[in-house]
Amino acid sequence: MKFDLEKSIEILERTPKVLISMLSGLSRDWIENNEGTETWSPYDVVGHFIQGEKKDWIPRAKIILSDVGNKEFVPFDRFAQFEASKGKTLVQLLEEFESLRIANIEKLRALKIREDQLKLEGIHPAFGKVTLEQLLSTWVVHDLNHISQISRVMASQYKKEAGPWNAYLRILNS
């Protein structure tokens, strides 16, 4: 599918509602467990979404669209959520994420991005030149990736219990 901003927003605006529906009211075992050392729980992923809303997508889009000569992105701390989420409940994180995402979609629409602007470039600290289209496409895929990750982490909590059915459960064997 060719990139389309409105189709992208269809996904971006649903992500908070998906997470709220998927995670609200669950026991701590579902939201705080992960897949082992150096993996993220659903709680951690929601915190990561918040950091992206604050420091990644819109700030980087604005850099690309700006008239400044230096189009270098500030490095994004993919692990900032561990400190930033301390002491917060999952409900608080979900509400914060939803509020930030609503505001960022409004900001995205207010940019009134034209087709020709999608080819404008910024400088990613690891990848070098990237286009606005790539950044916005990645935002959508990032959401879907982490929704999938949350599902996988939750499913893995019953891997042993599912026994021989694991052979048919791709989510447990990826």
Using a CB cutoff of 8 Å and minimum separation of 24, what contacts does 149-154 make?
149/40, 149/45, 150/19, 150/22, 150/23, 150/42, 150/45, 151/22, 152/35, 153/33, 153/34, 153/35, 153/39, 153/40, 153/41, 153/42, 153/45, 154/30, 154/42
pLDDT of residue 26: 97
104: its two tokens:
């960022």
If one counts every other C-beta atom within 10 angstroms of the C-beta of residue 120, the result is 18
CA distance 159 to 48: 25
For residue 68, the model assigns a pLDDT of 87
What CATH number is given for 5-172 in this structure?
Answer: 1.20.120.450
Name the stretches of the chain with pLDDT < 50: none
